[in-house]
Amino acid sequence: MSRIVSNSTFAVNSNLEQLVSVANTSLNVADTTAQGSLSTIAGAVAGTEMQVDIVSAPTLNVSDSAAQASLTTLAGAVSGSEVQVDIVSSSGTISTSDSAAQSSLGTIAGAVSGSEMQVDIVSSATLPVSMTNANNSGSSGNLVNAASKASGDFSSEVDTRNAKNITITGVTTDTSANKIELFTAHTSGGTKFKISFDIYPDSNGNFFEKLDGIALNYLSLKFSNSTPATVTATALFN
């Protein structure tokens, strides 16, 4: 194994590591440019902190007359710590001396009661109304016209579909107070249904029945007298 032999000597530590001496160099602060820069930097230090202006703007020249006038206007709108703002500002005053305006205001004032405006929703002239009796429908003897009827016989039917009020009048030669029954049919000539009304002629054979607020399509009578009798019956309705 070969070795390198040197005549130079150098210092080592206990681990046989070479110790190297590094010479310090000094900054020549006598240089005027360096000293000026250091002074500027030192002027920005307060305590242990560097002072920095993030934004630096020029000062507004408030001696300018236009700027001062604007500032005065803004200051006049400030009350305490608030800026006063008129949302809507209109100019001009209505001249209430104008006769037309005064008349209109007087009309409006006349509609005020207390703190409320009185309003008529609908105002119209009075509508004249006259009442007349409705004409009755039905002809004399339309149920039975001087015909002989005995027990179980029916009269003719009368169409009362447009009626709400029906009056039945008549006379019979049967003076025994045998009942006369009332029937209705839904269709002309259809099945007859008894309704809860019976008529009893008086001792002279006269009879009368009034039906109000009733709805019948077709009306007919059924007789119960055992001895044939001559009957005339009429249905009037409206």
pLDDT per residue over 208-236, tens digit each? 999 999 999 999 999 999 999 999 999 99
Phi, psi of 45 (to 5 degrees): -95, 130
Give the containing element (helix H, strand E) for 69: helix 65-76
Q: Domains in the chain, please, with CATH?
A: 144-237 (2.60.120.380)
What pLDDT does 68 receive? 78
- Edge-first strand order for the sheet with 180-185 is 158-159, 218-223, 180-185, 192-199
**Rounded distance, CA 158 to CA 188, Å?**
9
Evaluated on CA atoms 179, 180, 184, 185, the torsion sign reads: positive
With a cut of 50, say whether residue 130 has pLDDT above it. Answer: no
Confidence of residue 143 (pLDDT cuts 50, 70, 90): very high
Strands (E), 20-159: 45-46, 49-50, 78-79, 82-83, 112-113, 116-117, 144-149, 158-159
What pLDDT does 43 receive? 83
Confidence of residue 191 (pLDDT cuts 50, 70, 90): very high
Confidence of residue 148 (pLDDT cuts 50, 70, 90): very high
The better pLDDT of the pair 197, 96 is held by 197
Tally of CB atoms within 10 A around 184: 19
Mean pLDDT, the chain, whole residue set: 81
What pLDDT does 15 receive? 74
- Spatial CA neighbour of 221 closest among 172, 173, 175, 187: 172
Q: Which of the listed ranges 98-112, 116-130, 135-149 does the model predict with the highest average pLDDT? A: 135-149
Scored b (16 or more CB within 10 A) or e, 97-108 reads: eeeeeeeeeeee
Strand pairing category for 45-46 and 144-149: unpaired
Could you give the 3-state DSSP secondary structure of residue 33? helix
Least trusted range by pLDDT, from 86-95, 137-146, 157-166: 86-95
Confidence of residue 111 (pLDDT cuts 50, 70, 90): confident
Could you give the 3-state DSSP secondary structure of residue 70? helix
pTM (2 decimals)? Answer: 0.45
Mean pLDDT, range 164-176, rounded to an integer: 96
Confidence of residue 155 (pLDDT cuts 50, 70, 90): very high
pLDDT of 47-91, one tens digit each? 887 777 766 555 655 567 777 787 788 888 888 877 777 766 555
